[in-house]
Structure 1
Amino acid sequence: MALAQIDHVGENEQMAECIDNCLEAAQACEWCADECLGDEGMEECARLCRDVADLTTLHARFMARNSNYGSQLAQVCAEACEDCADECERHDAEHCKVCADVLRDCAETCREMANA
Structure 2
Amino acid sequence: MSLSETVSKIESLNDEQRDCIENCNEAAQVCEWCADECLGSEEMEECARLCRDVADLTSMHARFMARDSNYSSQLAQACAGACEECAEECERHDAEHCQICAEVLRDCAETCREMAS
- The whole-number CA distance in structure 2 between the counterparts of 1:3 and 1:56 is 15
Instruction: Please list the CA deviations of residues 17-66 of structure 1 after superposition, one character each: whole Å capped at 9, or x if unmatched.
Output: 00000000001100000000001200000000000000000000000000
Q: Normalized against structure 1, the TM-score is what?
A: 0.96
User: Which one of the candidate residues 45, 48, 53 is aligned to 1:46?
Assistant: 48
- The whole-number CA distance in structure 2 between the counterparts of 1:42 and 1:15 is 32
Partner of 2:21: 19
Displacement over 4 Å in runs of 4+: none
| Aligned Cα root-mean-square deviation (Å) | 0.5
Q: Which runs of 5+ in 2 are unaligned?
A: none
Partner of 1:4: 8
Partner of 1:34: 36
Q: Which runs of 5+ in 1 are unaligned?
A: none
Partner of 1:97: 99
Q: CA deviation at 1:2?
A: 1.0
Q: Normalized against structure 2, the TM-score is what?
A: 0.95
- The whole-number CA distance in structure 1 between the counterparts of 2:60 and 2:46 is 21
- The whole-number CA distance in structure 2 between the counterparts of 1:100 and 1:108 is 12
Percent identical residues: 73
Aligned residues: 113
Partner of 2:64: 62
